[in-house]
Amino acid sequence: MLRTLRQWLALLVVTSAIVLGGCLPQQDSQSSAASPSPTQTASAPVTPASSLQPSGIPRLEGKATVAIVVKGGTITAELDGTNAPITAGNFVDLVQRGVYNGLVFHRVVREPQPFVVQGGDPQSKNPNFPPEQLGTGSFNDPATGQPRYVPLEIMPVGAKTPVYHQTLDAAGVTAKPKLTHKRGALAMARSQPPDSASSQFYITLANVNFLDGNYAVFGYVTEGMETVDKIQQGDRIESAKVVKGLENLKTDAKKG
């Protein structure tokens, strides 16, 4: 019992690493739709106003495949624009721009048990940037000169549209997400506000389903998990390329 409690407390600490290592917006927390009353439950997913799809952010309409090279090994991942169109679209757009080339995996958590490897802070491209400050950067969109933040986007089982701007609990949704945190999941790191993800992402080293419904999974590693398992803190992404499905990236799509 004591061992189980210690493991739970340790997992709570490393889970906070995803939050604290996420992108920290400079502005106040973005507003979100009001949560349903605590007494509201649903046997099927509810469809709150926050499920409306945001516009002005690249979208992935369908699938795409990316290849990420680390220490000479290739990690191939399939991104799911059907269930995470905004989150996957943002990632594909950043890969296509070359944003991830040369960036560091600044956080690797394997103890007390395998958890995640996390990278994607644009500040890490500078080899002289203090390592202890990594995890606070975001992607600045050259078109606007401002950081680009991505709304939290989670598609519940049985739903036709994702829930935006809220965790599933906050939205009163009892269904599980379609994209879960199984081993090899790609998901977006963020700070405390739900809509604070930008470029930082993580790959799960094990099934960590206690994160389901709170963070946006947008794809899975299909080949190269042995490379992911060898990543150490400080390893750089040599290259990241879209190898399939780039035609599914829509940068001017409007919400329907």
| pLDDT value of position 234 | 96
Averaged pLDDT, 142-170: 96
148 Cβ partners below 8 Å, 6+ apart? Answer: 57, 90, 138, 139, 140, 141, 198
- Cα distance between the two ends of the chain: 51
145 Cβ partners below 8 Å, 6+ apart? Answer: none
Average pLDDT, the chain: 83
User: Is the peptide bond between 112 and the residue preceding it cis, with omega within 30 degrees of 0?
Assistant: yes
Q: What is d(CA 51, CA 248) in angstroms, rounded to the nearest whole number? A: 22
Could you please report the per-residue DSSP string of 194-254?
TT-BSS-EEEESS--GGGTTTS-EEEEEEE-HHHHHH--TT-BEEEEEEEE-GGGEESS--
The fold of 14-22+45-245 is Cyclophilin (2.40.100)
218 Cβ partners below 8 Å, 6+ apart? Answer: 79, 80, 84, 87, 88, 91, 179, 186, 187, 188
Judged against a pLDDT cut of 50, whether residue 174 lies above it is answered with yes
The pLDDT tens digits of the residues spanning 9-52 come to 444 444 554 554 544 333 333 322 222 222 222 323 333 344 45
Averaged pLDDT, 58-73: 97
DSSP SS3 for 104: strand
| pLDDT value of position 57 | 87
| pLDDT value of position 22 | 43
**Bridge partners of 244?**
65
Query: Measured in whole angstroms, how far is the alpha carbon of residue 20 from the centre of its chain?
Result: 14
Tokens of 236: 């750089």
Residue 14, classified by CB atoms within 10 Å of its CB into exposed (0-12), middle (13-18) or buried (19+), is: middle
Judged against a pLDDT cut of 50, whether residue 154 lies above it is answered with yes
| pLDDT value of position 132 | 92
Asked if residues 171 and 214 have their Cβ atoms less than 8 Å apart, the reply is no
- In this structure, the number of other CB atoms found within 10 A of the CB of residue 120 comes to 30
Q: Which residues in 71-120 belong to E strands, given as ranges?
A: 73-80, 105-109, 116-119
